[in-house]
Structure 1
Amino acid sequence: MLAEAACELFLEQGFDATSIADIANRAGVSRSSFFNYASSKSALLWAGFDERAAALERALDAPGVDGPAIVEALRAFADGLRPDALALAIANADAMGIAADLERESAVRMARIAATVAAALRHAGRASIPADVLGAAYAGAVMSALRHWAHVGPGARSLGDVVAEALGSVPADPPRAATSGAG
């Protein structure tokens, strides 16, 4: 209800011109009630994503999680996201005047996923740098898929399918750096 009210207002008057009081009023709740649901206008849009990211962190915080299990956890993360205000905001970012905010907030979420995946890979025995690089690649694939899914229309395909396709672009076991014996 709050997220829908926010999106309506963002489309009508723009993100920056919309206050939390405006959103609360449109949704029929008090301004203080707004903060029971979200800490900011942006957090309201990202709430579902953030819940799924927390579930991903729990899923990957287990011994022996590596390669295929990580890909499966990322797919489950995506399957749990529903078309909501975030997808609408991504698809209509320019009309809502929210593009810069989405870019900043996307970077925060991408870093969170990258760190989560990298930690799981390190825990499974992968060296730190390759774990960080793979974590960033997997996170980039997820965020790219989210943007594509929102722009194409969430009803066209499931986000899980789009994420699976994007993750297919990341080598499952990238080549390890060769060491040189020459000196």
Structure 2
Amino acid sequence: MNSTGRAGRPKASSRETLAEAACELFLERGYDATSVADITQRAGVSRSSFFNYFASKSDVLWSGMDERIGEAIRSLRSLGKSASGPSVHGILLLLVRDFEPDPLALALRNEAAMGLQEELVRDTGLRLARLSDAVATAARGSGIDVIRADILGAAYAAAVMSALRVWAEQGAGRGTPEAVLRGALALIHDLPWVDGAVDETP
């Protein structure tokens, strides 16, 4: 559907128009068969306009989430020695709070139809790595040993990304990603933030 001639609808920003056009094309043609030129033509904007908003084709899907991850990383860094399980939980829950359906949610729900399986595996891995490192760094800053901190980072980052995927696959009208993430974080109860006794039984 072209972005022109939408009677009765408020005019969307160029960013929104580009994102909508990209998602339409990904569903129609598949991700690999869609070029930036295709997207700008469908949206009725210039190529330079595309790169004013997005660094690449995949950035159309991830730009909103990347902004949230960046804010979460800054918040985690600010914790310093006061980092704790509850404070990290709070930051991660804020990361997904009020998360409206967006291109990423649509992609997660329609990855097969869009031909995005390999792309999402790769791109999700990059975000997992960023979040995992930030949580692990916060854990180390609070005095937790390196191995435990790395495990905590991996677990918490996986909880965030898995919660988003499950929420998207269920459909945006069924609950919130924050509620799903609360459930995911509860599954990490056997890996508390503070050091505990380690069972060394082989």
Normalising by the residue count of structure 2, what TM-score does the alignment of the two structures yield? Answer: 0.85
- Relative to structure 2, which stretch is displaced further, 166-175 or 139-148? 166-175
1:88 alignment partner in structure 2: 106
- Residue 178 of structure 1: how far off its partner (Å): 5.3
- Residue 177 of structure 1: how far off its partner (Å): 3.1
**Secondary structure of residue in 2 paired with 1:118:** helix
Note the alpha carbon deviations across 1:9-51, whole angstroms, 9 max, x for none: 0011110110001111111211121111111111110001100
- Relative to structure 2, which stretch is displaced further, 77-86 or 67-76? 77-86
Say if 1:119 and 1:80 are closer, same or farther in 2 by CA, change over 3 A.
Answer: farther
The structure 1 residue matched to 2:192, chosen from 165, 168, 173, is 173
1:107 alignment partner in structure 2: 125
- In the aligned structure 1, how far is the partner of 2:197 from the partner of 2:97? 31
1:125 alignment partner in structure 2: 143
**Secondary structure of residue in 1 paired with 2:187:** coil
Percent same amino acid at aligned positions? 49
Note the alpha carbon deviations across 1:43-87, whole angstroms, 9 max, x for none: 110001100001101111122122100011100101043210101
Q: Is 2:96 the counterpart of 1:75?
A: no
- Relative to structure 2, which stretch is displaced further, 85-94 or 58-67? 58-67
Q: Is the 8 A contact 1:38 1:47 kept in 2?
A: yes
CA RMSD for the aligned pairs?
1.5
Normalising by the residue count of structure 1, what TM-score does the alignment of the two structures yield? Answer: 0.93
2:4 alignment partner in structure 1: none
**Secondary structure of residue in 1 paired with 2:74:** helix
Say if 1:21 and 1:176 are closer, same or farther in 2 by CA, change over 3 A.
Answer: farther
**1:48 partner amino acid:** G
1:53 alignment partner in structure 2: 69
- In the aligned structure 1, how far is the partner of 2:128 from the partner of 2:57? 19
2:178 alignment partner in structure 1: 160
Provide the aligned length of Structure 1 versus Structure 2: 180
**Secondary structure of residue in 1 paired with 2:173:** coil
User: Aligned ranges for residues 6-85 of structure 1 at < 5 Å?
Assistant: 6-62=22-78, 63=80, 64-85=82-103
**Secondary structure of residue in 2 paired with 1:155:** coil
- The unaligned stretches of length 5 or more in structure 2 are 1-16
Q: Is the 8 A contact 1:52 1:80 kept in 2?
A: no
